[in-house]
Amino acid sequence: MKKSKLLYEGKAKKIWQTDNDNLYIAEFKDDLTAFDAQKRSQAQGKGALNCKISANLFRLLEKNGIKTHFVECISENEMVIKKADMIMIEVVVRNIATGSLTKRLGIADGTVLPFALVEFYYKNDALHDPLINDEHALILELVDNESELEELKRLGREINVVLKSFFDKANLNLVDFKVEFGKDSEGNIILADEISPDSCRFWDKTSGEKLDKDLFRHDLGDVKVAYEEVLNRIQKVIQ
Ligand code: TMP
Ligand code: ASP
């Protein structure tokens, strides 16, 4: 498979057209950004780590009946993905309060939530990805109807159940994560984008140590060492 035209360059990935009309290539970059890209850096090898972590998690989710855009890895930092029309909603699922939730609602950092909280954010950099409710999503025509919103919530919760119990075996608390979805050529809603320590929070269950992008956001430690640790733990659980 050959990359042809660059279709889109985001903060962490490039999406390439290929010689197959139904497939794209996602190239994972070493760039690190936070706070709407006001803070920027690079970590050599981060793209490859996120590509491998995402591939493993997409395979795990597929095994558990969740459709994803993942096809196969073709290099250290490139994967073939199915073409999908992206839904411009970031679906955030939270098990433990931290980050913007504690700031917005004053819930103490580290509070275990009584149930998994699903939130929608409007994927729009110019507006800084604001939190939206179901009615905002319908008015903005981000989805076709209410049942699609229900499906996004159901998928978010199902993904959470699979990933939470998987990471539990890796002695990691899945604190929260963000996922994005698209529609495939048949109109099915499939999981797209990536699932990596850039888009999830992981806390070691014993020490509470953070093993995700919060290390970069708040200058708490070496991102690459932490992401390598996450990949190693994933590989151990999969074996
Ligand atoms: P938040 O607490 O900053 O709202 O983040 C919630 C989760 O979503 C966390 O795991 C990080 C992830 N996330 C992204 O992947 N991209 C983003 O742009 C933001 C703001 C959060
Ligand atoms: N990913 C977003 C950015 O790069 C925000 C974040 O993750 O903190 O700006």
Q: Looking at residue 73, which CATH number applies to its domain?
A: 3.30.200.20
**What ligand has the least distance to the C-alpha of 118?**
1
Residue 43 included in any domain: yes
38 with 113, same domain?
Answer: no
146 Cβ inside 6 Å of ligand 2: no
pLDDT at residue 136 in the model:
98
**Does ligand 1 come within 6 angstroms of the Cβ of 100?**
yes
Domain co-membership, 209 together with 99: yes
Provide the 3-class DSSP secondary structure of residue 183: strand
Residues 133 and 147 in one domain: yes
Strand partners, 86: 182
Inside any domain, residue 233: no
Q: Are residues 152 and 198 in the same domain?
A: yes
Q: Of all protein residues, whose CA lies closest to atom 2 belonging to ligand 1? A: 99
What's the confidence (pLDDT) of residue 93? 99
Q: What is the Cβ-side half-sphere exposure of residue 171, based on CA atoms within 13 angstroms? A: 10
Under 8 Å between Cβ of 122 and 104? no
Q: What is the CATH number of the domain that holds 142?
A: 3.30.470.20
Task: Write down which residue in 32, 54, 82 finishes a domain.
Answer: 82
Give yes or no: residues 54 and 126 share one domain.
Answer: no
The pTM of the full predicted model, rounded to 2 decimals, is: 0.97
Residue 237 lies in a domain: no
**195 CA → ligand 2 middle, Å:** 14
Mutate to test the pocket of ligand 2, among 28, 31, 36 (most ligand atoms within 8 A of CB): 36
Q: Is the dihedral of CA 107, 108, 114, 116 positive or negative?
A: positive
pLDDT number for residue 172: 98
In this structure, the answer to whether residues 135 and 182 fall within a common structural domain is yes
Alpha helices in the chain (DSSP H): 46-63, 100-105, 134-139, 146-169, 214-217, 223-238
Average pLDDT, the chain: 98
Q: Which domain holds residue 124?
A: 85-222
Q: State residue 239's pLDDT score.
A: 87
What's the domain count of the chain? 2
For residue range 76-116, list pLDDT tens digits in order.
999 999 999 999 999 999 999 999 999 999 999 999 999 99
Residues 179-204 as b or e (16 or more Cβ within 10 Å = b): bbbbbbeeeebbbbbbbbbbbbbbbb
* Residue 190 maps to a domain: yes
* 131 and 217 fall within a common domain: yes
Atom of ligand 2 nearest to the CA of 32: 4
Express as a percent the part of the chain with pLDDT over 90. Answer: 99
- 211 CA → ligand 1 middle, Å: 14
Which amino acid, one-letter code, is at 172?
Answer: L
**Residue 44 and residue 157 in one domain:** no
Give per-residue pLDDT as tens, 202-238: 999 999 999 999 999 999 999 999 999 999 999 999 9
User: Using one digit for the tens of pLDDT, what is the confidence trace for 174-185?
Assistant: 999 999 999 999
Cβ 10 under 6 angstroms from ligand 1: no
What does the pLDDT read at residue 91? 99
Is the pLDDT at 1 greater than 90, yes or no? no
Do 54 and 101 fall within a single domain?
Answer: no
Whether 44 and 17 map to the same domain: the answer is yes
For residue 127, what are its two tokens? 């507006």
% of the chain exceeding 70 in pLDDT: 100
Domain assignment present for residue 25? The answer is yes
